[in-house]
Structure 1
């Protein structure tokens, strides 16, 4: 009965989606923020003791090795980003690296981040600084992470240190990366009580927001939401809805969609084989529309968007990284044309990296074979040229048509995206 109903629904809605596609959207505004995203633990290597250094060592995970050694190759990677024509370079200042013990700050590692920021600015880009990308020091892990109320106090002391050090640099601030997924990890890894951990993350964000506005007046602060199709309005009650009064923009991470004719995400292994999910580019339009509806007074920023390939090989469906990038940018432009206040878009990620237990999923504009290539050379994918063209033209050209088909009855925003399809 259920399959018959879905088939009927798809047939009934085909006419709605079969309307002639409009001409390509107008270019984005001149002040639109094109960017790239990275994170510390996933790319830096030389990782100190932390919760994730410990998790990575557990059975079933691929050895961490040295990630892609951003710690010592950041200058060249920052130049690669600048050559794309982007305006924003996102990175995280790893708490575990700068405060290896409760009573000690590592000035060498702080100086490293000083130079990262200096080189980003010198290359004509704006820093987007993430205070917490799921990693905390081993001494915090010994105290059971976000289960311990003392973690909030210690975390805010680190936040104050970082914000004070990098104030006045035009930074965009991200307090906590994808808190919904972070909470799920805390429950899995530390057996934390979800409500307790959520309370502490909320306290941390609210405190950091106030610190940024105290120490770095005029800077914009947010947390980036992991878009999980169909359930965000429910799961946001744990975090985002509780910090809505302390957001200057809504950060959104969009990777996967859902529709009547694309259910590939259901039951997919998003950790070990995300390339098996059929992308749904038009879903980013509906994800943005949902948050524009829910937070009408706040601008939107796509903090992460990207596509996984299988261990350096072509995807089985033949869809290329350049096609994926252009198609998603097309739908971001459509969102802007339809009145959504989108101020930026970051690609995840600049390079392949350690995807939380495995090097097999490859998301990078530049591919790096951390397993077989001891030189960790960066090799450009077809999306490098595509992104340069996008930033130069302020988007895809007017005559562009997406390579990937539109969805039939999108369910990205529940029934709303099906019953109110894009124009």
Structure 2
């Protein structure tokens, strides 16, 4: 066990990171570790049916309309094939409630068969589907009834889950019930899906549907692994956890952690997250170590899965500081492996995302391993970034023993106060 160091000691460690000889890198991850890629329904499918987000995107309040997005709805086979070519074990996608239930009591068999084929493509290529039931999108008819401000939405949502879950039981799927519940609430507040006074009610209802969906999934598929992925917000984790994850702890088979940015005394660029200008944030890869160690301490024995991690660029342009997508990927894997060496029970990692997509009102942030010019290229050609080959190499062989991260740790990291500052890795 490491003993807490002083701030001076922390500074010395960071100085040594720059000046001391490189030490051996982390060992390659074991074969049972799950490598994955991720996408979501509304963000990538296009051909959007009526939903809360179809309405938000058409309201004139977003920078870009959704259009056809990257047309995963018709190009899913080629994107799944690209994932298989990377060598990943897991392909995460979302089922759109609005697509399969266009009106109360009405189920679209064509669209259900579409998702059947998505699952077949994934499993047929030797991968495990990670199925997200709710990625912030619900049908327009649910919005007309008040959305999450209406208690009846709980029953409507569970009716949808009862239609979907048995269909894919036995497929070996990993399940995500609600994607990033606290950010879901923030988006609904921003676009008027709920009022500030209704926010606590929405959270209560998301907690209820997760808990009940967990039992439902295990009823039909006892061996399934079920979770909800949280958005890791540095320096606000206790408050964020209290809103959702602390209330569903006993209904988690693993904890999904989404890590995108850190916070430190010498890096406060995370403020750009407030305006969704994620490409203006200076990445802090060492923060993923602190995030994973925090939940290792908080929930002893609960497996952790990095459900989302990636780097946005500004319209696909190189970062001004020269930090590449490959640098970002290697650095985060390095620190994730360090966390595993120090006892974090991390069972998987998904890269967000397999292709660029619609980032909730704009196409400007580009997260994809494959970039797509959704607004200017009618062919929607998938073009590999430098990280495609990098990810493939990592999956096969891990990081080189001599690897030293391209990005230095933040000085006095605030990712997990006070530990990440006074006792850095």
The TM-score by the shorter chain falls in which range?
A: over 0.9
The match for 1:5 is: none
1:36 alignment partner, SS class: strand
CA distance in 1, matches of 2:362, 2:136: 16
C-alpha contact 1:95 1:135 (8 A) present in aligned 2 = yes
Structure 2 residue 330 is the aligned partner of structure 1 residue 333:
no
User: 1:221: which partner in 2?
Assistant: 226
2:272–2:280 CA contact under 8 A, matched in 1? no
Deviation digits for residues 62-112 of structure 1 (CA, Å, limit 9, x no counterpart):
111100000000000000000011000000111000000012000000000
Once the two structures are TM-superposed, the CA of residue 22 in structure 1 deviates from its matched residue by 3.6
Tell me how far 1:396 sits from its aligned partner: 1.2
Alpha-carbon distance in structure 2 between the residues aligned to 1:268 and 1:29: 34
Equivalent in the alignment of 1:18: 15
Q: Contact between 1:311 and 1:359, CA under 8 Å: does it hold in 2?
A: yes
Q: CA deviation at 1:17?
A: 2.2
| C-alpha distance in 1 between matches for 2:70 and 2:152 | 33
The residue that corresponds to 1:128 in the other structure is: 130
- Structure 2 residue 412 is the aligned partner of structure 1 residue 415: no
Which string of whole-angstrom CA distances, capped at 9 and with x for unpartnered residues, describes residues 355-405 of structure 1?
A: 000000000000000011000000000000000001111x21211111111
Structure 2: unaligned runs, 5 residues or longer: 1-5
Question: By how many angstroms is 1:194 displaced?
Answer: 1.3
Distance 2:36 2:400 in 1: 19
Distance in 1, matches of 2:166 and 2:264, equals 45
Matched, 1:199 2:196: no
CA distance in 2, matches of 1:301, 1:37: 13
Instruction: Using structure 1 for the length normalisation, give the TM-score.
Output: 0.95
2:109 pairs with 1:107 = yes
1:240 partnered with 2:245:
yes
Equivalent residue of 2:270, what SS?
Answer: coil
Aligned equivalents of 1:319, 1:267: Cα separation in 2: 18
Q: The residue matched to 1:228 in structure 2 has which SS?
A: coil
Equivalent position SS for 2:70? coil
1:396 pairs with one of 393, 399, 402:
399
Find the aligned partners of 2:246 and 2:354 in 1 and give their Cα distance.
30
Distance 2:23 2:421 in 1: 19
Name the residue aligned to 2:89.
87
1:14-163 to 2 correspondences below 5 Å = 14-19=11-16, 20=20, 22-61=23-62, 62-163=64-165
1:208-357 paired onto structure 2 within 5 Å: 208-271=213-276, 273-357=277-361
Contact 2:259-2:288 at 8 Å conserved across structures: yes
The aligned residue for residue 3 of structure 1 is: none
Shift of 1:11: 6.7
User: Residues of 1 paired with 2:238 and 2:23: CA distance?
Assistant: 30
Looking at structure 1, the residues matched to 381 and 39 of structure 2 have their Cα atoms a distance apart, in angstroms, of: 17
Any idea what the Cα deviations from partners look like across 1:216-272, whole Å, max 9, x if unmatched? 11100000000001111112111110000100000000001001111111255552x
Match of 1:190 in 2: 193
Gaps in structure 1 of 5+ consecutive residues:
1-8
The count of corresponding residues between Structure 1 and Structure 2 is: 412
Q: Distance in 2 between matches of 1:12 and 1:335?
A: 20
Q: Name the residue aligned to 1:179.
A: 181
Q: Structure 2: how far apart are the matches of 1:97 and 1:316? A: 40
Contact 2:7 2:422 in 1 (8 A): no
Q: What SS is found at the alignment partner of 1:181?
A: helix
In structure 2, how many angstroms separate the alpha carbons of the residues matched to 1:298 and 1:406? 27
